[in-house]
Structure 1
Amino acid sequence: MISINQIYIYPVKSTQGISLTKANAVDGGFENDRILMITEPDGTFITARQYPELLKVETAIIKNDIHVTLPSGEKIIINLDDFSNNAEPTEVFGNRFTSYIAPIKVNQFISQFLQKDVQLRWLGHQLSRRTKRYQKIPVSFADGYPYLLINKSSFDYLQHLCPEKLDIRQFRANIIIQGTLPFAEDGWKTIKIGEVIFDIVKPCTRCILTTMNVNTGKPLNNNEPLKTLGYFRTDEQGQIDFGVNMIARDHGKISVDDKIEVLARQPAKNYIKAFPPEEKSEEQCYSIIFEEKTIKGNNKQTILEQLEQNKITLPYSCRTGICGRCLVVLKKGKVNPLTQSAIKRNNQILACSCVPKSDIVIQLKK
């Protein structure tokens, strides 16, 4: 079953997200998502692309107040009722609209942190901003569209290819889903989650912000994961996509574990695939002991494949690490996981997603 794995909102654009168990879809996105943004004094937006230290700023919503905590531990409480009543010109990626400026003490607090004269802005109760493609659809301070969905299986596939350790929070999604094949979302047009119907607008084009470690604010090595994504998710215009942007047709609540129903599909976008030459590691021979039966194994194929070649049958459905039916217990030895989800608790592993790294002893879970 396709379902929601995680939900996130980001009350202040470019700062740390807040994980939720449920969220309200309202005008412009989830309630309290990207309702505040840091700008230049002239209203031009500022993000963690220029100031990655923003990624270490924590936010919390307590009653009607937004609590902002700097990495140093300094805190300030922001009440939306204290913002200016004058609508001022504001701009995000050439999209022009109006917003309201925070009190002087709030702006001074953030300016001191960034060592730059800045302002904090609020869109107000009635959003003046609209998406570029859909002029009737309001949007918050998000880059372009109200919702961003990422498929955990797509992330796991990327992690398998990427040499750097990734964190799914680097992609700053609102909705993270589970229970479907990698990049299945590419072919979706309309989906229903809980009470809400969403239309997929376009794939999400990724930027340098995805290369930043969400805990340290420092970039990963070799421009990852953009470098790896570029091998198989680059379109004809040279843009790199990961995840999908969405708009909601109506308001309503959605929750973690809500079922996702695909209502309509569309042709998936074509991407240029240009993987670098594979570095070939020397093949090693290992023994695989399964339920007291020993077979000759190697470090090139998954455990499931090698068992099947020796007429040993394990239950399975997906062969991609999603269904979990090929779960076995690793009693001895080491394996290389092909996905982050391949290693479970209590030495349990997915036979379809692990390759022997030494002689191994495995058995069925009892």
Structure 2
Amino acid sequence: MSHVWPSPSQVCSALALVLGLAALWRWLRARGSPELRMRRVGTVSGLFLYPLKSCRGLSVDRAEVTELGLRSGALSDRCWTVMKEDGEMLSAKEEPRLVLISVTCEDGYIMLNAPEMKTLKIPLELPRTNAVRNCRRLGAEGEGRDCGEEAAQWITTFLNTRPYRLAHYEPNMMTRKSRDVLPEFETTDEVAYAEGSPILLISEASLDDLNSRLEEKVAITNFRPNIFVTGCAPYEEDSWSEIVIGNVQMKGRMVCPRCIFTTIDPNTGIMHKKEPMKTLLSYRKGTSTKQRSYKNLPPFGSLYGIEKTGVLAVGDPVYEII
């Protein structure tokens, strides 16, 4: 009788399955629970990352979730930033036209485009001779490598208000600690140039409910989530304390207090300063918090810390751990 031996790929697959089951058993044991109880609460309908802070987002079908947020190919969420010459990072709250800058990646270059501007090409691997600068936002400091004079001139010319520079976060640089900005986060939560949270999740039902109260509807791009979810009730995401999507586990830290950034038209770069903030304030109460700077701002969406990294995709079910 002849024997059919398993191929190397079959052996690897079996080994990966065994290791995965062992890891799950150890995780469950650490939780002190004989089984993981989960309830399906929705489905991922959109994934977005914003490579350059405050600029136009990218919609992707699949993304890696790292400790710092979403990553797709060579582009990571908010790992480039515009900053003032003193290192203070810039937000579209100060320069609304930032939302008109789009970012793509090709052949080892990040490419920036904006109305009436030539494409700016920046190598993903910046010269080590470029200075590493301190990057500061809301009192929390990180680091970034300066992208050079051509990038600084391009940004300065487009915004046309004052001199600015462009910086890039590289692995092993100092991150910004979420807790320095948002006390509800854990000491392990960190970001590169995001305001404070690595993940913002919003449901389609919440957006639909808001739009039912507005004369002029707004798009999800006004709110800049990383994960868009369908199949749940309006604002149900506020109550999800711990969720699993794909092989990613995230823990809800707090609802997201909204500011005048939401009033910037993502298609024109014009800040209207009224809607949708006026309507949100009329029916969404401010967050309960230790920090006065945002306690009266209306919540919309929820902020998450990363408990377990992995991969997720549009169409993945969203489970709440119960």
TM-score (structure 2 length as normaliser): 0.78
Deviations 1:194-223 (A, max 9, x none): 110010111011110101111011134x70
Match of 1:239 in 2: 297
The alignment status of 1:208 with 2:255, answered yes or no, reads no
The residue type paired with residue 56 of structure 1 is L
| Match runs of 1:289-304 below 5 Å | none
Alpha carbons of 1:106 and 1:85: their partners in 2 closer, same or farther (altered >3 Å)? closer
Aligned counterparts of 1:251 and 1:178: Cα–Cα separation in 2: 22
Q: Aligned Cα RMSD in Å?
A: 1.5
Of 166, 174, 191, 2:243 maps to: 191
Larger radius of gyration: 1
The alignment status of 1:38 with 2:90, answered yes or no, reads no
Match of 2:275 in 1: 224
Moved over 6 A (4+): none
Contact 1:164–1:225 (8 Å) recurs in 2: no
SS in 2 for 1:53: helix
| Match runs of 1:341-352 below 5 Å | none
Instruction: Using the TM superposition, give the Cα deviation of residue 30 of structure 1 relative to its aligned residue in structure 2, in angstroms.
Output: 0.8
Match of 1:23 in 2: 63
Which structure dedicates a bigger proportion of its chain to helix?
2
- Alignment gaps of 5+ in structure 2: 1-40, 180-184, 289-294
TM-score (structure 1 length as normaliser): 0.69
Alpha carbons of 1:63 and 1:152: their partners in 2 closer, same or farther (altered >3 Å)? farther
Aligned counterparts of 2:115 and 2:285: Cα–Cα separation in 1: 35
Match of 1:114 in 2: 159
Instruction: Using the TM superposition, give the Cα deviation of residue 134 of structure 1 relative to its aligned residue in structure 2, in angstroms.
Output: 2.4
Aligned counterparts of 1:114 and 1:194: Cα–Cα separation in 2: 40
The alignment status of 1:12 with 2:52, answered yes or no, reads yes
Contact 2:259–2:297 (8 Å) recurs in 1: no
Aligned length: 263
Of 62, 80, 92, 2:124 maps to: 80
| Match runs of 1:90-239 below 5 Å | 90-115=135-160, 116-129=162-175, 130-132=177-179, 133-220=185-272, 223-235=274-286, 237-239=295-297
Percent identical pairs in the alignment equals 27
SS in 2 for 1:42: coil
SS in 2 for 1:161: coil
Instruction: Using the TM superposition, give the Cα deviation of residue 148 of structure 1 relative to its aligned residue in structure 2, in angstroms.
Output: 0.5
Contact 1:28–1:127 (8 Å) recurs in 2: no
Aligned counterparts of 2:190 and 2:217: Cα–Cα separation in 1: 36
The residue type paired with residue 53 of structure 1 is R
Aligned counterparts of 2:226 and 2:108: Cα–Cα separation in 1: 21
Deviations 1:233-277 (A, max 9, x none): 12264221100111111221110010000114xxxxxxxxxxxxx
Instruction: Using the TM superposition, give the Cα deviation of residue 82 of structure 1 relative to its aligned residue in structure 2, in angstroms.
Output: 1.8
Instruction: Using the TM superposition, give the Cα deviation of residue 127 of structure 1 relative to its aligned residue in structure 2, in angstroms.
Output: 4.3
> Higher RCO, 1 or 2 (CA under 8 Å, sep at least 6)?
2
Instruction: Using the TM superposition, give the Cα deviation of residue 8 of structure 1 relative to its aligned residue in structure 2, in angstroms.
Output: 0.5
Deviations 1:2-26 (A, max 9, x none): 1001100111011110100000111
Aligned counterparts of 2:130 and 2:152: Cα–Cα separation in 1: 16
Instruction: Using the TM superposition, give the Cα deviation of residue 34 of structure 1 relative to its aligned residue in structure 2, in angstroms.
Output: 0.6
